[in-house]
Amino acid sequence: MHIPPKPIRTALTLGLALAFTSAPVFATNDAMLQLLAALHKKGTIDDETYQAILLSARADEEQNAAAGADVAKKVDQSLAQLGTPALSPGKYEIKDKTGDFAWRTIGRIQYDNAFFDNNGKFKSADVNQFRRVRMGVAGTIATNWKFKLEYDFRELDTGIAGLKDAYIEYIGKLPGIDPIKHPTDIKIGQSLEPFSFELINSSNNALFTERALPVNVLGNFVGERNPGLKLTTWGESWTAAAGLFATRQQETVSGVNCTLPTGSAFKAGAKFTCSGGVEDTPPRAFNDGYAGTVRGTYAPWHDGGHVLHLGSAFSYRDFANNTTVQLRERMEVNETSVRLIDTGTFKADDFLRWNAELAVVQGPFTFQGEYLLLKTHAPTKNDPMFTGYYVSAGWFLTGEARPYKFQEGIFDSVKPNSIVGKGGIGAWEIVTRYSSADLNDELITGGQENNWTFGVNWYPAPNIRFMADYIKVLEVKGGAFANSTPAALVLRSAVFW
């Protein structure tokens, strides 16, 4: 074996040591170590020189690691000040580490295709539409203070009517209330009135493409969201909500019509002439009214796929100036303009609403039902009272259990056990519903309608859902569409975040 003279070995030692100590990254050290090992194996450098250079390399690596950790710490501290993006299930947030500030984008897109089987006087063409296109933001300002703002762009031409949630929220301690045993939530602005499980349950989490017939006609004709003040508190197995509400603003914007000169008037520099575009705020059919609404729920068990929910709500709304009221509703399909039941317009001073709720989740099985009553103070029509109810059920063929949001007393979004694209088939659910609404009472003959629905829901991944509902009108008694029994198939593709 040939060993280089000592001067040459010394030069190699110094050169390699310099290379190691000046290496800016660990990848360079790795390459040098491989070269060092090869030289040592061939006898170019002896054991003493090899060990000396190796010790120098290890010391350098430890120094670089310490420097890298220091840089990472400083970056981490900077991001804590600015807010770091963080993904939670189905949500994208920017927040600081303490949680004092958080900013989240929210939204949903629902695209429907509806196919009708016309019958009797009911006539409606097949149609497709974006049922909901919403964007918004929600977040935390200072730990206990929160906000939410959401707008439906499908209603852009109706101005402020497209505004959904728009409120400031406080969650924390109030004088005289134990914040541990009974947390308190206060919302100021436009939010959901606490009335009806089906009405306040998000369309993202509902069993069907549309709410049940009696809920829309008796609970939603004044809108599910209204501006006001709402207070909510809860204990281990109960919740209570109460609020005072005004009436949502209604704003319509007339279309803008523009024309370009034609014929001899059309020449270079010709300009469009436009008219319209004036905002108009006519009185709504129930404008200037104020409401007091309360809701209570009791859920003795409400986790782990085992839920028993009992609830009831009461609402009184006073109308100013002897307002004209009209109750009417579609056949649980938004894609038609035909209302099979309709009271026509009549004057009313005020009305009372009441409901009773039941929801059960037992593993993959879901049951939900409500009874609703609306009593009007309308002397010229002998104060008619209208009623309705629905019962619905769902079964997850793939074994999921529908989540429950106890503090709000509604369902949460479904998380499939397996995800399509990651070796799974998603969550598959079959659902059915029977609903009835009666608008015949005293001097009002608005009609009574009974519907049956069968549907299939597929959740290929969290926050994505495909739905197919077959809706059959079983009978209509009274009113302009008596004895009409149409049917419809509605297909929905939906995503939310």
3-state SS class at 485: coil
Instruction: For residues 220 and 228, give the distance between their C-alpha atoms in angstroms, rounded to a whole number.
Output: 17
> Looking at the structure, do residues 172 and 103 belong to the same domain, yes or no?
yes
- Assign 3-class secondary structure to 225-274: EEEEEEEEEECCCEEEEEEEECCCCCCEECCEEEECCCHHHCCCCCCCEE
DSSP-derived letter for residue 36 is: H
Instruction: For residues 345 and 457, give the distance between their C-alpha atoms in angstroms, rounded to a whole number.
Output: 38
Residue 51 forms part of a structural domain:
yes
Can you give the pLDDT at residue 266? 57
> Looking at the structure, do residues 176 and 40 belong to the same domain, yes or no?
no
Asked whether the beta carbons of 433 and 470 are under 8 A apart, the reply is: no
The contacts of residue 458 (CB under 8 Å, 6+ apart) are: 426, 427, 428, 429, 465, 466, 467
Can you give the pLDDT at residue 169? 96
Quote the distance between the C-alpha of residue 160 and its chain's center: 20
3-state SS class at 7: helix
> Looking at the structure, do residues 134 and 166 belong to the same domain, yes or no?
yes
What single letter denotes the amino acid at residue 376? T
Q: Name residue 390's beta-bridge partners.
A: 370, 435
Can you give the pLDDT at residue 25? 41
Backbone angles phi, psi at 40, to 5 degrees: -65, -40
Q: What is the CATH number of the domain that holds 280?
A: 2.40.160.10
3-state SS class at 25: coil
Backbone angles phi, psi at 61, to 5 degrees: -65, -40
Can you give the pLDDT at residue 88? 58
Residue 372 forms part of a structural domain:
yes
Asked whether the beta carbons of 466 and 492 are under 8 A apart, the reply is: yes
The contacts of residue 88 (CB under 8 Å, 6+ apart) are: none
> Looking at the structure, do residues 15 and 158 belong to the same domain, yes or no?
no
> Looking at the structure, do residues 179 and 318 belong to the same domain, yes or no?
yes
Instruction: For residues 179 and 176, give the distance between their C-alpha atoms in angstroms, rounded to a whole number.
Output: 9
Instruction: For residues 171 and 187, give the distance between their C-alpha atoms in angstroms, rounded to a whole number.
Output: 9
Ordered DSSP codes for 313-326: EEEEEEPSSS-EE-
pTM listed for this prediction: 0.76
**C-alpha distances in angstroms, 228 versus 174, 245, 470?**
19, 4, 37
Can you give the pLDDT at residue 317? 92
Strands (E), 363-426: 365-377, 385-396, 404-405, 410-411
Instruction: For residues 8 and 11, give the distance between their C-alpha atoms in angstroms, rounded to a whole number.
Output: 5
Can you give the pLDDT at residue 85? 56
Q: Quick one: 277 exposed, middle or buried, by C-beta within 10 A (0-12, 13-18, 19+)?
A: exposed
The contacts of residue 30 (CB under 8 Å, 6+ apart) are: none
Residue 1 forms part of a structural domain:
no
What single letter denotes the amino acid at residue 497? W
Can you give the pLDDT at residue 172? 82
Boundary residue ending a domain (17, 47, 82): 82
Can you give the pLDDT at residue 399? 97
Angle between helices 26-42 and 47-82 (to 10 degrees): 170
Count of other CB atoms within 10 angstroms of residue 92? 13
Q: What is the pLDDT along the chain (497 residues), one digit of tens a residue?
A: 444 454 444 444 444 444 444 444 444 456 666 666 766 676 777 777 767 776 766 666 555 556 556 655 554 555 454 455 555 555 677 877 776 788 899 999 999 999 999 999 999 999 999 999 999 999 998 878 999 999 999 877 667 778 999 999 998 877 777 766 778 899 999 999 999 999 999 999 999 999 999 999 999 888 899 999 999 999 999 999 999 999 876 554 445 556 656 666 555 555 555 554 444 334 344 455 789 999 999 999 998 899 999 999 999 999 876 678 899 999 999 999 999 999 999 999 999 999 999 999 999 999 999 999 999 999 999 999 999 999 999 999 999 999 999 999 999 999 999 999 999 999 999 999 999 999 999 999 999 999 999 999 999 999 999 999 999 999 999 999 999 999 999 999 999 99
> Looking at the structure, do residues 123 and 72 belong to the same domain, yes or no?
no
Q: Name residue 163's beta-bridge partners.
A: 151
> Looking at the structure, do residues 143 and 20 belong to the same domain, yes or no?
no
Q: Name residue 490's beta-bridge partners.
A: 114, 469
Can you give the pLDDT at residue 14? 44
Q: Which structural domain, as residue segments, surrounds residue 472?
A: 85-496
Boundary residue ending a domain (30, 55, 82): 82
DSSP-derived letter for residue 20 is: H
Can you give the pLDDT at residue 404? 97
Count of other CB atoms within 10 angstroms of residue 494? 21
Boundary residue ending a domain (59, 82, 105): 82
> Looking at the structure, do residues 274 and 315 belong to the same domain, yes or no?
yes
> Looking at the structure, do residues 458 and 353 belong to the same domain, yes or no?
yes
CA-wise closest residue to 408 among 327, 269, 295, 486: 295
Element (DSSP H or E) covering residue 460: strand 444-461
> Looking at the structure, do residues 415 and 430 belong to the same domain, yes or no?
yes
> Looking at the structure, do residues 172 and 229 belong to the same domain, yes or no?
yes
> Looking at the structure, do residues 180 and 54 belong to the same domain, yes or no?
no
Instruction: For residues 133 and 150, give the distance between their C-alpha atoms in angstroms, rounded to a whole number.
Output: 10
Domain count, the chain: 2
3-state SS class at 344: coil
Residue 326 forms part of a structural domain:
yes
